[in-house]
Structure 1
Amino acid sequence: MRFTNKLCAQHLGWMFKKHWQIQGKRVARDTGAASELAKLGIEVKNPKDVLKEPRSKQNFERLVFAEPLITQTAEDAFHPNWHAKPCHVYGDSNVLLEGVAQAQILTKTIEINGFPKNIEETISKMQLNSNVDKNIQNSIMASHVLDAEQVKLPKIKIPERPAFTLPREYGISHNRRRRLLINKLIFECEKLSGSSVTSRRQIFDNAAFNVSLTKDGDLLQFELSADTFMTSAKPIEAVKGKYETELPDLYPIKHTITIPKKNIYTTKNSYPLRSALPCSHPHTIFVHFDKENVKNLHQTPVTTSQFQARNLLKAFTVASARAKQLYGESVEQLPKPIVVQSIQTDGQTFHFGVYQLNTLQLSGLDGIKNYWFHLPNVDLFAECGYKVGRPVLEGYNKDCFRYLKAFYSNC
């Protein structure tokens, strides 16, 4: 056994305790500053007497409040916005049960598979070099993989195993991916179009639109928003020619099915920009689709037809809000059609459509109808993420950006 030096140690807690007891008994020395100030006629006061404001004590136990501090308005006939006639309110998180067919009946719109002739000619003549494709691929990577944001992503669910819980993943939020991607794609369109076109465009975020309409005795209220709203100094020209097609038959389903019905509501019509502004004409709206927020009432996945119908109703609401601003809230037959382009995306799949509003007389199936030009959904890429620790982009589709560039240049 090895002998070591003897250690003499004290308990640190006991030592600090005794040290504070000794130091607490010290008395402050008189520095003579008070006497010197007294000679100069300066009175020395206690800081507590100067800084502390006198407050009167109040006994709260004896206070009696005439009314409760927090009031809650009853959701019944006594509510100030209560109406005996219910209203069907369609919002950003709603979808239609029958998809495009129901949207056609609801808005009295003819579906046309294909874009207007001028847009198709622009797409056929468009030639993009390899540098543009490289920039688009870099934009996809920057928005889906290379951004610095790290947040908790939504839960991943397996339909075959609904009770199985997978580990939560962290990464770029889906909303930020879509917003970054759209902004970068618009920037590429601006570079290719030049100042002659970009000077006639304005871009706004989170624009809200409200439209109140009546169809076959039912009151409808559309309260929708455009995540990115592009305006132009000149309205888009109406499509030439007439299209005559019968509207689909939904019998026995009514056109307002799955649209929530409310008795407490306010009917209003609003367009986010004043008509006197130089760039107030609607040009293109970009709509985000988030499957976590947009769902069916029966919790089933959103179908392709419902996805496209949501895009149609967004464009219809923007055009209707503009029509009511220009021609009055009671307008039915528009003096001049209003054309709005709409692009909906979930960050990977894009749906392009052009809506022409000809009338707001929605009752019945006869008479003037509105037009909806669109093509099937297009995937910008097949997969974008990490594989073996490296960022990978697979299945890039150049046609998607060609459609977007043609929409941007359309006037």
Structure 2
Amino acid sequence: MRTTELRCAQNIGAQFRALWLIQGRRRVADTGAEAILASKGIKALDPKEIFSPPYHKERKMVDLPPLPGQQVMEPNEQPCYVFNNMFSPVAVVPQVQLLTNSIVQTSLPDSILGNAVDNTAEEDERVKEAILHAHLLDSYQEKLPRVLDVINNPGWKFKREYGIPLKRKNKSLTYQLLLLLDQIFPEGASRHLVEDTLTQVTLNHADRLMQLKLRAAFILSSPKPLSALVGPSEVRSLDGQPLPDIYPLSPFINCKLWKNYSLNDAYGVGSSRVHLHTIFIHHNEPRMRGKEEHFQALSLLHGFAHAASYAKHFGKTSDEDLTAQPVVVQVVHTNGCQYHISAFQLNTLNLTGPAKNIFWTQPWETLFSSCSYRAAKPTLEGYNPRVVTMGFDVFTVVIEPHQPVYFSEQVVEGYVKIATEKTVSCRGITLTAKGVGKVSWTEDDATYSASEEYFRETHTIWSGAHQREKFPAGEHRLPFAFQIPKDTPSSFQTAAGKVRYQVKAVADRPGHVGHSSTAVFSVNHLYDLSSDSDARTAINQEREKAVTCCCSRFGPIALTLAVEKRGYVRGENIVINGEIVNNSGSTIKYTEAKIVQKTTYITRDHTKSESRTVQRVYRPQIQPGRADEWSRVLLPVPAVTPSHLVHCNIINVEYNLVFGAKLGKCKRAEITETIIIGSVPLPGSTVAPHTSVRAGGTVLANSVGRADSPRVEQSRRPGQGGDHSSYNRVAMSEQYANVPPPSYESCVFSGGRQSAFGNDSDGDGGGFTPRYNAFRRH
């Protein structure tokens, strides 16, 4: 077998060149054909004797008239080095330093870094939305450049895809970030933005003529010029400082000489009433991403070109000293993912004199690592908030001592934890505690909503009036305390309605979206079943139903249900006694007993009701003519809101006990009775052990004897282990002062479904799940 020789992609070109060289040296072999033809009397002719000489056609030069608006450039005597956006410095930063007579500082000045503060969570989310919109959610599509993979697939022609071009991504993202900054900083509205503008300036560099002809994606201007970053004395201290030596290379390497050029300068902004502020440069070449040194060199070149054009626009010359009023410009250079931020101060236009210009730079930052679709979902990974810095390192509301639930007239205490490495501008910090109820849903293209407020307290916990609106550096704890009013409803959460209690702290920072933090807590209304006369009422019901389906009539199904009372608390078991007799002539698929929660949402114009099962036990099928007896079957009551949601006027909660049998999709017989779920049990009631069902669900029904009945069990006290050991004793009213500490469980319905309130102004976090208590009364 002949083995195939493995050649790497980078060696294929050398292989072809070697093959062409060898084949090019080969001579035409003498086959003896001419001698054979001569022996037969056939004369071989030279092709030159037959073919006519090549026809020579003279080319005539035709002068075409210029297009309307086209500038005609006559050849100049002195050639000029023209630097445009295609220029790539071979010696990177040192080469551009020699061209611009600039000193490079490896960190931004303090006057710029002092204005950079950390973003709030809201600001970071808005930046992420801008990235997703620019890179994925833009509806504009065009055919993208052909993909080249010279390493893995050399010479392969990939299919050209449609998508968002890199140029549009960069422009869209920059524009949205600038729009976000204008919304955060009101003073930004006075600035002007010029898009896709050309700056051209011609200068002498010793005995050579050079022209900078560069185009910026955006130029941000301001009514006043930027202040000098360093003073004249510091600039003069740099006089005579040597520039880097790139010998034997020339500073003009990789730049062509041109004779057809225009000496007219072009100021990118085009107006003398506004001044340079920030230059935005976009690197839109997906095949040439560029290294960090390359980015820094081009940022320096652009910063110098725009500053020099601005200076010449206002009549400055190379003989003038600009240190008293230097030209300062900020430069933002990006390729879509990496961002290089720098600043340039023009102190002189003399490119070979002792005075030096100054360029401040820092390592580039990666805004994000990837932005793509994952499982058909727009996904942003590796977001870096340091790129767009607009604060406090830590700003958190802490409720301490923490309790799983709170009750009416109880005091809630805590503090706002703040940490910052440097002084932060802040007018004041306010804290608001409130309890609100909201309902909202959409039905038949109409939205219905209502809300009510149970209490609201606002306190200023820190004021910057006497500290020059500066919050000091370090770690701080600002305490707070407030009392929950009387007659407040229990916490509640569904997709269409909620009753929510929260503490929110907000820092008023001038020019910024205020820092904020929210802590949510659960409130339980003590619904004492002893105060409800219906709670002690027993349930004894019999029902016989003839089942019909598809115009056919079957025999009856007889149901009997007996329950000792209607009132229960979480942790109790509903003891079900009953019987189901199947005389229908068809097999009953299953029998069940379940607790159904019926929630009614109330607005001024409309009401909405929805039901959902919170707990269920079942038994398997019953054959025709057979009966199934339920004897002391336990149905656990899970953690749910107490009945009626007392003191809430827009949400009502009721519970039903449903005992029934199901034959098919449309054949069902059942008994439905109202039950009451409270917070404080009836005297003599028992609470199920902690090992009972802690969440709603479906379980197989089993009968228990009286010897197997759940025994009375005290709730665990603090320090007895388990996940409640860190809880402090809950302060209740004097009526329940001798009751042992209760147990606490989260509602069986998590707070994740927040279709109606996912973006409301509460900022309370959509994943909150209320907690509820249970007591055993002596």
TM range (shorter): 0.7 to 0.9
Q: Give the secondary-structure state (helix, strand or coil) at the position aligned to 2:199.
A: strand
1:314 maps to: 302
Shift of residue 167, structure 1, vs aligned partner: 2.5
Shift of residue 373, structure 1, vs aligned partner: 0.5
2:475 maps to: none
Shift of residue 91, structure 1, vs aligned partner: 0.7
CA gap of 1:396–1:217, structure 2 versus 1, over 3 A, is same
1:152 maps to: 143
CA gap of 1:154–1:336, structure 2 versus 1, over 3 A, is same
Alpha-carbon distance in 2 for matches of 1:68, 1:247: 48
1:176 maps to: 168
1:71-102 CA distance string (max 9 Å, x none): 289xxxxx961123210001112111111110
Structure of higher CA gyration radius: 2
Of residues 118, 122, 125, the one that matches 2:115 is 122
Of residues 169, 183, 202, the one that matches 2:192 is 202
1:175-233 CA distance string (max 9 Å, x none): 11111100111111112112xx1243111111221100011211001111221110011
Which amino acid letter does the alignment assign opposite residue 313 of structure 1? L
Alpha-carbon distance in 2 for matches of 1:108, 1:69: 45
1:106 maps to: 99
1:361 maps to: 350
Alpha-carbon distance in 2 for matches of 1:220, 1:162: 40
Of residues 82, 87, 96, the one that matches 1:89 is 82
Q: Give the secondary-structure state (helix, strand or coil) at the position aligned to 1:398.
A: coil
- The structure with the greater share of residues assigned to helix is 1
1:234 maps to: 224
2:263 maps to: 267
Q: Give the secondary-structure state (helix, strand or coil) at the position aligned to 1:399.
A: coil
Alpha-carbon distance in 2 for matches of 1:259, 1:80: 20
Alpha-carbon distance in 1 for matches of 2:297, 2:196: 20
Q: Give the secondary-structure state (helix, strand or coil) at the position aligned to 2:246.
A: coil
For the 8 Å contact 2:328–2:346, the answer to whether it is kept is: yes
2:185 maps to: 193
2:158 maps to: 166
Of residues 371, 396, 403, the one that matches 1:384 is 371
1:284 maps to: 278
Alpha-carbon distance in 1 for matches of 2:63, 2:259: 24
Q: Give the secondary-structure state (helix, strand or coil) at the position aligned to 1:133.
A: helix
Q: Give the secondary-structure state (helix, strand or coil) at the position aligned to 1:400.
A: coil
For the 8 Å contact 2:73–2:262, the answer to whether it is kept is: no
For the 8 Å contact 1:333–1:358, the answer to whether it is kept is: yes
Alpha-carbon distance in 1 for matches of 2:73, 2:132: 51
Query: Are residues 1:140 and 2:134 paired?
Result: no
CA gap of 1:178–1:80, structure 2 versus 1, over 3 A, is closer
Alpha-carbon distance in 2 for matches of 1:240, 1:71: 53
- Which deviates the most, 208-217 or 331-340? 331-340
Q: Give the secondary-structure state (helix, strand or coil) at the position aligned to 2:89.
A: coil
Alpha-carbon distance in 2 for matches of 1:232, 1:266: 29
Query: Are residues 1:374 and 2:361 paired?
Result: yes
Shift of residue 68, structure 1, vs aligned partner: 9.8
CA gap of 1:261–1:95, structure 2 versus 1, over 3 A, is same
Alpha-carbon distance in 2 for matches of 1:330, 1:222: 16
For the 8 Å contact 2:90–2:253, the answer to whether it is kept is: yes
CA gap of 1:252–1:173, structure 2 versus 1, over 3 A, is same
Alpha-carbon distance in 2 for matches of 1:149, 1:169: 13
Shift of residue 246, structure 1, vs aligned partner: 3.0
Which amino acid letter does the alignment assign opposite residue 197 of structure 2? A
1:346 maps to: 335
Alpha-carbon distance in 2 for matches of 1:314, 1:336: 20
Alpha-carbon distance in 1 for matches of 2:272, 2:109: 29
CA gap of 1:275–1:147, structure 2 versus 1, over 3 A, is closer
Alpha-carbon distance in 2 for matches of 1:237, 1:156: 46
Q: Which runs of 5+ in 2 are unaligned?
A: 1-59, 67-71, 391-510, 512-778
Alpha-carbon distance in 2 for matches of 1:292, 1:179: 15
For the 8 Å contact 1:333–1:361, the answer to whether it is kept is: no
Alpha-carbon distance in 2 for matches of 1:159, 1:375: 33
Which amino acid letter does the alignment assign opposite residue 132 of structure 2? M
Shift of residue 349, structure 1, vs aligned partner: 1.0
For the 8 Å contact 2:202–2:263, the answer to whether it is kept is: yes
Count of equivalent residues: 319
1:111-130 CA distance string (max 9 Å, x none): 1011111111122xx24211
Q: Give the secondary-structure state (helix, strand or coil) at the position aligned to 2:227.
A: coil
- The structure with the greater share of residues assigned to strand is 2
CA gap of 1:80–1:308, structure 2 versus 1, over 3 A, is closer
1:23-74 CA distance string (max 9 Å, x none): xxxxxxxxxxxxxxxxxxxxxxxxxxxxxxxxxxxxxxxxxxxx9986289x
Q: What TM-score, normalized by structure 1, do the two folds share?
A: 0.73
2:615 maps to: none
Which amino acid letter does the alignment assign opposite residue 285 of structure 1? I
For the 8 Å contact 1:207–1:226, the answer to whether it is kept is: yes
CA gap of 1:273–1:397, structure 2 versus 1, over 3 A, is closer
Which amino acid letter does the alignment assign opposite residue 179 of structure 2? F
1:219 maps to: 209
- Which deviates the most, 240-249 or 99-108? 240-249
Which amino acid letter does the alignment assign opposite residue 347 of structure 1? G
For the 8 Å contact 1:324–1:331, the answer to whether it is kept is: no
1:294-327 CA distance string (max 9 Å, x none): x7xxxxx743222221111111111001101113
1:131-184 CA distance string (max 9 Å, x none): 111111011000000111121111222231331222222111111111110011
1:7 maps to: none
1:31 maps to: none
2:252 maps to: 256
2:386 maps to: 399
Which amino acid letter does the alignment assign opposite residue 304 of structure 2? F
For the 8 Å contact 1:341–1:353, the answer to whether it is kept is: yes
CA gap of 1:302–1:381, structure 2 versus 1, over 3 A, is closer
Shift of residue 347, structure 1, vs aligned partner: 1.3
For the 8 Å contact 2:104–2:358, the answer to whether it is kept is: yes
Where relative contact order (Cα < 8 A, 6+ residues apart) is larger, the structure is 1
Alpha-carbon distance in 2 for matches of 1:107, 1:233: 27
- CA RMSD, Structure 1 to Structure 2 (Å): 2.3
1:326 maps to: 314
Q: Give the secondary-structure state (helix, strand or coil) at the position aligned to 2:85.
A: coil
Which amino acid letter does the alignment assign opposite residue 256 of structure 2? P
Which amino acid letter does the alignment assign opposite residue 257 of structure 2? K
Alpha-carbon distance in 1 for matches of 2:65, 2:256: 23
Alpha-carbon distance in 1 for matches of 2:97, 2:356: 10
1:21 maps to: none
Q: Give the secondary-structure state (helix, strand or coil) at the position aligned to 2:169.
A: helix
